[in-house]
Amino acid sequence: MLTKRIIPCLDIKNGRTVKGVNFVNLIDAGDPVELAKQYALEGADELVFLDISATLEGRNTTLEMVLKVAEQVNIPFTVGGGISSIEDVDRLLKSGADKVSINSSAVKRPELISELSEKFGSQCITVAIDAKQINNEWVVHLAGGSIPTQLNLFTWAKEVEQRGAGEILFTSMNNDGTKAGFANEALEKLSSELNIPIIASGGAGTIQHFIDTFKVGKADAALAASVFHFGEIPILELKQELQNNDIPVRL
């Protein structure tokens, strides 16, 4: 059985790690390179860096930070934010990133997923989907959750898989930063309808929430930010509890 992955997420703005609630009210959470080193030592399986204002501000993710992280960290890491071309991905992978995450650019031009998958391999391509439940429908949003689309989460996720994405990072905007648990019903539906890994994001507040998202939501990985950044849930303790609950993890 494949082990479940625990993934700290570092949202980057102006070179610093930030954290908010429902995608707003951001507060500083520290230096991304130092946090990355700490998480690697504590037993994180992977890391995700998202330059959350890159798309809105129309610029690329900072390569300097990627180079520094690659020098300091020995676990795989994914980088996202403002990525819209083969050239962007090429630069990030050559700077040391293991995977890239695309979001708004994939919705605007779905062919990009296929192009990147064919060029670099699907294992390098994560498609992030930010969705909000509105009147019982999961609506995909763009640009850091600020722009609603006409897309349904499940329809879009299936297309993403068909176009060659290696995994999907699903963030529930309703749950983001609330610490009230992951959107397990939507996650379970995604996991049952798709054959690629699903990363759960948005809502982690307790160790039980991680147990639930693996057991109920059937997620392949769980991503969280503030509970790790502010020391509320130590990664090793989390993994030991997961193992105690018969959830396979790498210790």
Region of residue 162 (left: phi > 0; alpha: psi -120 to 50; beta: else): alpha
* pLDDT confidence band for 226 (50 / 70 / 90): confident
Residue 233 has pLDDT above 90, yes or no: yes
| Apex 154 CA angle, 203 and 147, nearest 5 | 65
Residue 61 has pLDDT above 80, yes or no: no
Residue 99 has pLDDT above 70, yes or no: yes
- The Cα–Cα gap between 13 and 164 comes to 29
Torsion of CA 162, 163, 168, 170, to 10 degrees: -90
Distances (CA, A) of 185 to 59, 214, 238: 35, 12, 22
Q: For residue 27, what pLDDT is reported?
A: 72
Q: What are 9-58's pLDDT values in tens digits?
A: 998 887 788 876 555 567 777 789 999 999 999 999 999 998 876 655 55
* pLDDT confidence band for 241 (50 / 70 / 90): very high
DSSP 144: T
Answer positive or negative: Cα dihedral of 136, 140, 141, 147. Answer: negative
Torsion of CA 22, 26, 30, 33, to 10 degrees: 60
> Average pLDDT in the 209-234 region?
95
Burial (CB count within 10 angstroms: exposed 0-12, middle 13-18, buried 19+), residue 79: buried
Q: Which of 2-16, 85-99, 234-248 has the lowest mean pLDDT?
A: 2-16
Q: Choosing from 51, 130, 176, 212, which is the catalytic residue? A: 130
How many other CB atoms sit within 10 Å of the CB of residue 55?
Answer: 23
Q: For residue 56, what pLDDT is reported?
A: 55
Residue 168 has pLDDT above 60, yes or no: yes
**Could you tell me which of 124, 119, 149, 153 has the C-alpha nearest to residue 137?**
153
- Is-catalytic flag, 130? yes
Q: Choosing from 11, 51, 88, 220, which is the catalytic residue? A: 11
- Token digits of residue 1: 């059985």
CB contact at 8 A, 98 and 66: no
**Could you tell me which of 65, 56, 137, 153 has the C-alpha nearest to residue 104?**
56
- Is-catalytic flag, 98? no
CB contact at 8 A, 54 and 61: yes
Q: What are 201-211's pLDDT values in tens digits?
A: 999 999 999 99
